């Protein structure tokens, strides 16, 4: 593989996200500063124009406050949109590694360890023995991602060959106490949407012979697990 391939969200979707947050910021900024000014907050205008204090509560003063709020809000919205885009899933394939970054988490996997790549609802990098080196919800264009992985010379699977092995985690499952503690802790960080912590605990569970995936059930995220090797209860 002579070149580096990077797959991100479609540019139109990325641009739309930034534009949407910019407009939302402008609307909210205009509304908030206009209301503050009408309530008697002349400081809003005085910050910009020293002689505008006499217009407190006037229509022209409120309009100026709204305009200033729109400018400030749009800048804030654009910055927030750009930061959000930086959290989106992206995959970078090089001659030696596959790099996956999402929501503050990241993984850099040597290509020599990868036996297959599942590109479906989840993106999964599989090693020999069914070990999951990476598992993340796939928010990328499936066709583009499959094409990039195939161009990189890696085996692409359309579905998870181990999907039927997963079962929902329950505290009554016959698992070692340490595995239950990790899964319980991971459930708590998932509720906080602490993606980096959830990924850390997923990797720890691999060391105990357990693969875990996250499945949406309505508004809840449910953990499902499967054994990578016989799990013995001490």
Q: Which of 6-15, 35-44, 154-163, 179-188 has the lowest average pLDDT?
A: 35-44
Question: Can you tell me the distance from the alpha carbon of 21 to that of 82, in angstroms, rounded to the nearest whole number?
Answer: 9
- Phi, psi dihedrals of residue 233, rounded to the nearest 5°: -90, 120
Question: Can you tell me the distance from the alpha carbon of 182 to that of 173, in angstroms, rounded to the nearest whole number?
Answer: 13
Question: Can you tell me the distance from the alpha carbon of 163 to that of 7, in angstroms, rounded to the nearest whole number?
Answer: 25
The pLDDT value recorded for residue 131 is: 94
Predicted confidence (pLDDT) per residue in 4-34, tens digit: 777 766 544 555 455 555 555 455 555 554 5
pTM of the predicted protein model: 0.68
Distance of CA 142 to the CA centre of its chain: 17
Give the DSSP per-residue string, 96-140: SEEEEEETTEEEEEEGGG-SEEEESSEEEEE-GGG-EEEEEE--S
Q: How many CB atoms lie within 10 A of CB 98?
A: 24
């Amino acid at each position: 593989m002579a070149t580096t391939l990077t797959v991100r969200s479609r540019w139109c979707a990325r641009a739309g996200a930034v534009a949407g947050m910019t407009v939302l910021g402008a609307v909210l900024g205009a509304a908030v500063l206009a209301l503050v000014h009408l309530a008697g907050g002349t400081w809003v205008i005085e910050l910009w124009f020293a002689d505008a204090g006499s217009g407190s509560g006037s229509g022209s003063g409120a309009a100026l406050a709204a305009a200033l709020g729109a400018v400030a809000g749009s800048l804030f919205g654009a910055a927030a949109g750009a930061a959000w885009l930086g959290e989106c899933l992206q995959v970078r394939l090089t001659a030696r590694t596959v790099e996956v970054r999402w929501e503050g988490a990241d993984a850099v996997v040597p290509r020599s360890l990868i036996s297959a790549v599942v590109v479906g609802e989840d993106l999964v990098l599989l090693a020999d023995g069914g070990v999951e080196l990476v598992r993340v919800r796939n928010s990328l264009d499936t066709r583009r991602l499959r094409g990039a992985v195939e161009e990189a010379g890696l085996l692409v699977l359309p579905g998870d060959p181990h999907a039927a092995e997963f079962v929902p985690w329950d505290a009554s499952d016959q698992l070692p106490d340490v595995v239950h503690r990790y899964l319980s802790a991971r459930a708590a960080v998932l509720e906080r949407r602490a993606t980096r912590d959830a990924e850390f605990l997923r990797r720890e569970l691999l060391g105990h012979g357990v693969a875990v995936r996250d499945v949406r059930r309505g508004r809840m995220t449910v953990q499902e697990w499967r054994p990578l090797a016989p799990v013995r209860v001490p």
